[in-house]
Structure 1
Amino acid sequence: MSRADLGEVLREVVRDRPLVAYVVLAVALSWAWWVPVALAGGTASHVPGLVGPMLAALLVTAATGGRAGLRRLRGRPGAIRWWVLALTPLLLGAVAAAVVTVVGDGPSAGDFAEMPGVPAWPWPVVFLLLLVVGGLGEEVGWRGLAWTRLRRRLGLRDAALILTVPWALWHLPLFWIDSGLAGLSPVVVPGWLIGLASGAVVLGRLYERSGSLLVVALAHTAVNVVSGTRGGEGAVAAVVSVGVIAAAMAVLAADRRAAATTARHDARST
């Protein structure tokens, strides 16, 4: 088989199984950085590997939808109310930090710019880096491509549960990287998985409502800042995690009520 024939076969596979192709590419691209880092002792930064999902989504979308597909993937800017909602984790984290400061030794504002694997830059620069590399790096793929395709045939809960599986698998090498998840105790891994599934629900619904990758990337970054930095250690991260889980439960409850209302309406119409 010639190189041209092989390329055409690969393009057909991507067109026929775009979601599978995306997951394989996202894992391959991120792990291409993370696995060597983990094997070398896990001391290098994990941050470059975060762009794997975005690159994978762009490649698959270009192969299946061309320029029009890339424009659709970009989405809308999003209304101002969604931008405000996306910043809710920062507000929740700030309140939790203020309470911790009153009752004990709480974090300073500068502590929220200190994240493992990220250079010691001013807070706005760190936030912008996390937004572009972490927020968009993940959300262009997991929400922009994967979530959109799953929701064409699945309900909100099922789409979130199924998406959580490859999303969690994608993180796997980070458990052997110091700036990733190496410090996470095995005891709290189930809680981490629940948080990931809850994030899939909340971020998925936010993406559907706002239609904006930037909005959902901002929400993702806000959670990372208040749970993954030095300032978010301990109680602050716990409060934000509980908030995400509570929000997911509220979204699922609202989705069930909406489905029940639709079912009753359809029953009356027949």
Structure 2
Amino acid sequence: MWRTMNPIKKYPVLSYFLLTFVISWGGILVLIAINGMPETVAEAQAQLPQAIATFLLGPFVSGLVMTGLTDGMEGYRDLWSRMRKWRVGLAWYAAALFLAPVVFAFSHFVLSLYSPVYRPGFMTAPDGGGLVFMAVMSGIIVGIMEETGWFGFAIPKMRQRYSPLRVGLAVGVIWGAWHIMANDIWAIKTYAGEIPTVQYAILSGLGFLIGQLPPFRILMVWAYERTGSLVLMMVMHFSLTACSIACAPTEMTGWEVFIYSLAVAAVFWVIALAVIMADHKIRRINNEH
């Protein structure tokens, strides 16, 4: 047993990521074996709560297990203290809550000028109110369960060796790769449209690796460095998830999906790069004085 534990303690972050992928991807494969892959938007939305709950077990369980294995009770006390750190100022909560809505609103406005297919999903869905409710509830659950792992365990461990930017970018890419199973492969029949399935899977996978998730995670790490609040990270993640579900156009398929994803990702990348450049300039000025 101790020989098995040694590699885990020696490579805690790698162990966390491997365990997260095994649990989440394995869970989705089990769902596919039981229910099959959804072929319509209605089927995907009906199965979405079950898929989300199954997928979230990965980072949540892995975060708690790895915290206990590497840091014991002291690790759990530290995790709990960061979860209770909520007094960070209203400005931070405003930024955490409204960053994603502003980005999605801008993206939908611009794309809607090109085609009505890009109108927000909550405006075109048969039950828009129900979609918003599901988005909010999913956002709450996703924010809490995912960040128990990402910011609860992995990111603080990585920050012991790497800079905030490197950690944000690395975790963002891994975060994107982790999403491929549930957001790409699981619902591929729903959104591939006229694009061949394999081609769609590759393009969609690349979208998760370099799309909106890496810049958003960079912004999250930047905010966490200045607040140390795990609650704030959960709020920020909640907002992104809720907007992603409530705003996703219900009528788009094929290339329209990629245009939409590219537009949202581009806005997030512009914001992330602006924050990085501004932060670098401020630190340089402070160092000169």
Superposition TM-score, scaled by structure 2 size = 0.71
1:113/1:237 Cα in 2 relative to 1: closer, same or farther (>3 Å)?
Answer: farther
> Which residue does 2:214 correspond to in 1?
197
Whole-Å separation in 2 of the counterparts to 1:210 and 1:102: 39
Deviations 1:218-242 (A, max 9, x none): 2223223333445456687655433
Task: Flag the structure with higher helix content.
Answer: 2
Whole-Å separation in 2 of the counterparts to 1:11 and 1:140: 22
Whole-Å separation in 1 of the counterparts to 2:154 and 2:27: 22
Deviations 1:119-150 (A, max 9, x none): x9463454123221x22222222223222122
Whole-Å separation in 1 of the counterparts to 2:13 and 2:186: 27
Whole-Å separation in 2 of the counterparts to 1:211 and 1:19: 19
> Which residue does 2:272 correspond to in 1?
248
1:56 to partner: Cα distance: 0.4
Contiguous gaps of at least 5 residues in structure 2 = 39-46, 193-199, 251-255
Residue 281 (structure 2) pairs with residue 257 (structure 1): yes
Instruction: Say if 1:226 and 1:232, in contact at 8 Å, map to a contact too.
Output: no
Instruction: Say if 1:101 and 1:107, in contact at 8 Å, map to a contact too.
Output: no
Question: SS at the partner of 2:216?
Answer: helix
Whole-Å separation in 1 of the counterparts to 2:3 and 2:191: 39
The share of aligned pairs that are identical, in percent, is 22
Contiguous gaps of at least 5 residues in structure 1 = 1-5, 266-270
> Which residue does 2:37 correspond to in 1?
42
1:12 to partner: Cα distance: 3.5
> Which residue does 2:59 correspond to in 1?
53
Matched length = 254
RMSD between superposed Cα atoms in Å: 3.5
Question: SS at the partner of 1:154?
Answer: coil
Whole-Å separation in 2 of the counterparts to 1:23 and 1:122: 31
Instruction: Say if 1:90 and 1:226, in contact at 8 Å, map to a contact too.
Output: yes
Give runs of aligned pairs for residues 12-161 of structure 1, distance below 5 A: 12-38=6-32, 41-43=36-38, 45=48, 46-47=51-52, 48-74=54-80, 75=82, 76-77=85-86, 78-88=88-98, 89-94=100-105, 97=108, 105=116, 106-107=119-120, 109=122, 121=130, 123-124=132-133, 126-132=135-141, 134-161=142-169
Superposition TM-score, scaled by structure 1 size = 0.75
